[in-house]
Structure 1
Amino acid sequence: MSNDRFKLNSRRGFLAGSAAMLATPALAQTTGLDVNSAATTVVERDVTESVKRNISSFRTLSWEPYFDNTKNGAILVDIDSRAVHYWSEDQSVYKLYPSSVPLTQDLTRRGRTRVTLKDPSPSWRPTPNMIERNPEWPPFIGPGPDNPLGTRSLHLSWQYYRIHGTHDTRKIGRKSSNGCIGLYNEHIEELYELANVGTQVLLI
């Protein structure tokens, strides 16, 4: 094979490999119940709106700067890097997931909370504010492919706030929600099994 042909084939191989890598979703890495809000949440917005990805800060972290301990497990939601971190109580399991985050600062809530309910088959009701802004929205969507909460949901102690799945994978890695934190369905299903009611959660 001539040098020119070898260079051409090498270039094609590099470009094909790079395209495949960019098209592949980032993978997880191993290393007080509010009954009235149980079926409500803050839903993600249409991804066709002007939103941007940010994967430059997606990196592993240690739990020590954020938690005094890992009792009941710990979940750190890093809104700026659009990532969710999980540590098991004995610290033998560490997971890192890409996520969707709130669209604007006024929709963003930060601070300490906890998992108060694990919903294995979430349904969705728009909040009163959402109905006011979007009166055409349906009052209820049951479990299934049209549900904006995906296949699992972890309710937090803050009313209407969830860590949940999404059937629209384009939203992951974007500012695309009205407050909640979204994960790929396969990732929320894994986190759902790992987290417990009482798992501590910090949003930064």
Structure 2
Amino acid sequence: MSERIAIALAALLLTASGASAREVVPFRESVSPGTIVIRTGERQLYYVRGDGTALRYRVAVGKPGKQWFGEARVDGKYVRPAWAPPSEVKRDNPRLPDVIPGGAPNNPMGARALTLNLGEYAIHGTNRPSSIGTYASYGCIRLLNQDIIDLYDQVSVGTRVVVTP
């Protein structure tokens, strides 16, 4: 097997195994430590630290026409949450059940969820890791399950969330 094929296979295995997409990056904007900044156009989430850096996570964001921008606060933290499809999702997908239990393979919330005070939006894991880095949702922010677990452990209810284009 050539070295190029071996490298490609290793990268594929890391992706398939759910390798983390987070990294520490410089972050010099005037944002308070502990703030979550989501740059929709970059499909990146930044968790701002107090040392001029942020943890950067690759995310999936809302599809065109389903995105929102502005500020919110984390108003709930949930482990393996059940999911009740919002009315717009249910209207577009009427065959969805009214509730998908937490931990079910077809539950799109994944391992953790940080709900936001804006109603039906959340920052959550995913059962579709291939969607990370794309415009995929109805406005929620998706992370790999191991990344939402990492972020979940660092934030608290009340954490400020800023979403920009």
Using structure 2 for the length normalisation, give the TM-score: 0.86
Number of residue equivalences: 159
Match of 2:14 in 1: 24
Once the two structures are superposed, what CA deviation does each residue of 1:108-129 show, in whole Å capped at 9, x if it has no partner?
0011111111112211001122
Q: What is the root-mean-square deviation in Å for CA atoms of aligned residues?
A: 2.1
Q: Using the alignment, how far apart are the partners of 2:122 and 2:76 within structure 1?
A: 10
> How many angstroms does 1:24 deviate by?
3.3
Structure with higher strand content: 2
Q: Which structure would you say has the larger Rg?
A: 1
Q: Secondary structure at the match of 1:115?
A: strand
Check conservation: 2:125, 2:143, Cα contact below 8 A: yes
Q: Secondary structure at the match of 2:81?
A: coil
Structure 2 counterpart of 1:164, from 100, 124, 137:
124
Check conservation: 2:28, 2:52, Cα contact below 8 A: no
> How many angstroms does 1:139 deviate by?
0.5
Q: Secondary structure at the match of 2:124?
A: strand
Match of 2:99 in 1: 140
Check conservation: 1:63, 1:87, Cα contact below 8 A: no
Structure 1 counterpart of 2:47, from 86, 108, 130:
86
Check conservation: 1:119, 1:152, Cα contact below 8 A: yes
Check conservation: 2:28, 2:53, Cα contact below 8 A: no
Q: Using the alignment, how far apart are the partners of 1:14 and 1:150 within structure 2?
A: 33
Tell whether 2:150 aligns with 1:185. no
Q: Which runs of 5+ in 2 are unaligned?
A: none
Q: Which runs of 5+ in 1 are unaligned?
A: 1-8, 32-59
Q: Using the alignment, how far apart are the partners of 1:109 and 1:118 within structure 2?
A: 21
